[in-house]
Amino acid sequence: MEKWPDTLIAVVGKGRNCPPAVYDMAREVGALVARQPGCLLVTGGLGGAMEAAARGAKENGGRVLGLLPGSSNRTTRPHAEVDLRLDTGLTANGRNIVLASVAHAMIAVPGSHGALQEMIVAVDAEKTVWALGEHATRLPGVEYLASLEELAARLTAFSTAPAPDRG
């Protein structure tokens, strides 16, 4: 039986009305996660940056877990770029808490209130959180990076660290 990756990396960002530049950034971030040995991409399972990150991961041989809010709480349709889709049955806020709680680390591309909530929950849970791109709100405990190259270096160091050091 094939072993699934054991390091869960969440990518969060704009869902509805995702600008093309943010979509492209999220796709590149998903590809970067996929190229890290042992990493599984976790997204909210809907459109926008979530779909883009998943697409980038799948195009690069990665595995993707989509954590959906309950069907009556979805703002966009679920995307098809997943290996495993889990309908949490929760509101979008509830799903955001689950996503931020299960991830070992989080990468945030520019988003809206949902992404900000996920970042806050992850920081409160003492998870590693990196942000890429322009973010209107800066949170203490989040490392704001200037480039994909910086993110790649952080992600490589994180994914190769012994499990207790992952946060």
Domain boundaries, position 125: 7-148
Q: Give 63-122 pLDDT, tens digit per residue.
A: 999 999 998 878 778 888 999 999 999 998 999 999 999 999 999 999 989 999 999 999
pLDDT grade for 6, boundaries at 50, 70 and 90: confident
Distance CA 30, CA 33 (A): 5
Q: What is the mean pLDDT of the chain?
A: 92
Determine, yes or no, domain membership for 22. yes
Distance (Å) of CA 135 to CA 2, 20, 58, 85, 108: 38, 16, 26, 28, 9
Determine, yes or no, domain membership for 37. yes
Determine, yes or no, domain membership for 162. no
- Cβ-based neighbours of 147, under 8 Å, separated by 6 or more: 132
Determine, yes or no, domain membership for 163. no
Determine, yes or no, domain membership for 2. no
pLDDT of residue 165: 54
Sign of dihedral through CA atoms 112, 61, 98, 129? negative
| CATH number of the domain that residue 52 is part of | 3.40.50.450
- Cβ-based neighbours of 160, under 8 Å, separated by 6 or more: none
For residue 50, what are its two tokens?
Answer: 């979530």
Task: Tell me: pLDDT of 123 over 90.
Answer: yes
How many domains, in total, are found in the chain? 1
Determine, yes or no, domain membership for 40. yes
